Amino acid sequence: MLPSETPSLKASPPDPPVTETRRKTIDHLARQLRGLEHTERALSTDPPRSTGFAPLDKLLPGGGVRPGMLWEWLSTCEGSGAGTLMLLSGARLVAAHENLVVIDPSGTFYPPAAVRLGFDLQRTVVVQPARERDTLWALEQALRCQGVAVTICWLQHIDDRTYRRLQLATEQGEGVGLLGRPAKFLDQPSWADVRFQVRPLQGSSQARRLRLERLRCRGARGPRHIELELDDETGAVRLVTELAPPTIVARAARA
């Protein structure tokens, strides 16, 4: 807005009417979440849960994930491996007889591939909202539901106020929220308890190599980043042993 411009007092247009398809989607999700709330969980008294990857656990306080935590996975580019790591972690954080919700506004979640990553589709609810407003609504409801152990969602821009609401919903639901976002939103306000950035590195022809950096995590100590190899065929994740600098190798050879 230019300094000479005067803000318009014209009322904003009303929200578009709720279509029958959207109403059915909302009602269906609400019924599913109400059913999941009857599942008894005692996450608040449980010890930290492992992500299924020992190197990743070492980046977290207590060596695992606490209930009521909201994670943010920032991807520096398409195919960085952030989405795969998020899905792998989500699948392993769900114990037997617990439920997982995937909110997929882009429609890219592929159930057959998810099974290979460890998903139990019988206990997985997939929501594919058509609008950003519906995505945020479904995300908040899933995070708030105590019958949902893990909620996974891909997001773009999100304002500070909405993000705070999501963080409070995660605390109330006592599950774990995993949010995948592009790294271009790195400088925007975030209420996530944990922020990871994933950057691809040059790897072998059979596995992707990536750098996982911890940007934020209260109470975490030790290394801030690790390098991993991700095998897309098997879903295996391996820690890459960092090579010693050439000068150190040369000195050791002369010793």
Residue pLDDT, tens place only, 161-172: 999 999 999 999
Section 17-23 average pLDDT: 64
pLDDT at residue number 16: 53
pLDDT-derived band at 24 (thresholds 50, 70, 90) equals low
Section 237-247 average pLDDT: 62
pLDDT at residue number 205: 60
Half-sphere exposure of 81 (CA within 13 A, CB side): 24
Section 173-177 average pLDDT: 95
Phi–psi pair at 137, nearest 5 degrees:
-65, -50
Tokens representing 9?
Answer: 């007092």
Q: Is the pLDDT of residue 73 over 60?
A: yes
> In this structure, which amino acid lies at residue 255?
A
DSSP E strands in the chain: the ranges are 69-75, 100-103, 124-127, 150-154, 176-182, 194-201, 208-217, 225-230, 237-239
With tokens 């006592």, the residue in question is: 174
Give CA–CA dist 64/53, Å, rounded: 10
Assigned CATH for 46-254: 3.40.50.300
Give CA–CA dist 242/228, Å, rounded: 10
| Intra-chain end-to-end CA distance of the chain, in Å | 68
Q: Higher confidence at residue 214 or residue 79?
A: 214
Give CA–CA dist 41/74, Å, rounded: 29
Give CA–CA dist 85/79, Å, rounded: 11
Query: Structure pTM?
Result: 0.75
Q: Higher confidence at residue 46 or residue 244?
A: 46
Section 172-182 average pLDDT: 95
Section 189-215 average pLDDT: 86
Tokens representing 235?
Answer: 């879903």
Phi–psi pair at 231, nearest 5 degrees:
-90, 110
Residue partners of 254: CB distance under 8 A and separation at least 6: none
Phi–psi pair at 82, nearest 5 degrees:
-65, -45
pLDDT at residue number 247: 43
State the chain's mean pLDDT as an integer: 80
Of 2-11, 174-183, 192-201, least confident by mean pLDDT is 2-11
pLDDT at residue number 142: 97
